[in-house]
Amino acid sequence: MSYKGIEIAASVMCMDWLCIGEQLSTLKQLKIDYLHFDIMDGVFVPTLSIGPLVVNQIRENTTILCDYHIMVEEPRRIFEQYTAEEGSYFSIHYEACRNLHRDLVMLRKLNFRPGLVLNPATTLENIEYVIEEVDKITIMMVNPGYVGQKLVPQTLDKVRKLREWRDRVKYQLKIAVDGNVSFDNIPKMIAAGADTLVVGTSGLFIKGYSLKESYQQLQAAIDEGLTMKENCAN
């Protein structure tokens, strides 16, 4: 259930793995929309992360929908290692695919909701020919692969341009932001046009705060962003 129309995807990579069962239960109570799984191959990005065995074990212990972010060279190689469930997203990088259109069509056939992720340096013009094949576009606000990076300021303009493009052509797609989605940055991201937030160490899993305390601050940041967006529209 989204909060005032803003969907929230909690980054599994940023959870406390010694308390993951407890945190999954709390996220369910908070009505978080998605569990965000960062799948990294050590090639497309320098870091390695979890694979399907760990993902499936987590999925068996929660009913929260999955939001897969695939940071893998030629991601089509691993599509069938993951099981689609109704409403789950499977997002691949523009920069990682030799045949992007083919891969997005394949994801739809596998019953995933196809998503597309753009690195900070990738322009929107590069994806015009596949825009009708996706249900969500994720704008990376930092270069992928590491937590704790500073926001690349120009990415806010990209979110704004994508929102204007979507509104103009009337495509039904979500606009997500990923990377340094913090309490300070969330209002600006929402005002620019984001309607899905991937939250991690700066927006939900914050040292010294319970998940419920962090979620209250997250809601306040969303409220501020929606007010800013409304004011910009008037």
Q: What is the pLDDT of residue 27?
A: 97
> Is the pTM above the cut of 0.75?
yes
pLDDT of residue 232: 82
Sorted by sequence, the CB contacts under 8 Å of residue 178 that are 6+ apart come out as 36, 69, 117, 138, 139, 140, 141, 144, 198
Which one of 38, 41, 135, 195 is the catalytic residue? Answer: 38
CA distance linking residue 136 with residue 34, whole number of Å: 13
Which pLDDT belongs to residue 147?
65
Give residue 45's pLDDT. Answer: 92
Report the C-alpha gap between 148 and 151 in whole angstroms: 9
Q: Is the dihedral of CA 83, 88, 93, 98 positive or negative?
A: positive
Determine which helix (DSSP H) or strand (DSSP E) holds 103, and give its type and residue range.
helix 100-109
> Is 38 a known active-site residue?
yes
Strand partners, 33: none
- Torsion over CA of 203, 206, 209 and 210, rounded to 10 degrees? 80
14 to each of 36, 38, 103, 199, 233, how far by Cα in Å? 10, 10, 28, 9, 35
Which of the following is catalytic: 33, 41, 178, 195? 178
pLDDT along the chain (234 residues), means of 10: 92 94 97 97 91 94 96 96 93 97 97 97 94 96 79 96 92 94 97 97 94 97 95 78
Q: Which residue has the tokens 């493009």?
A: 165
User: What pLDDT, on the 0 to 100 scale, is given for residue 108?
Assistant: 97
Is 178 tagged catalytic?
A: yes
d(Cα 221, Cα 188) in Å, to the nearest integer?
Answer: 9
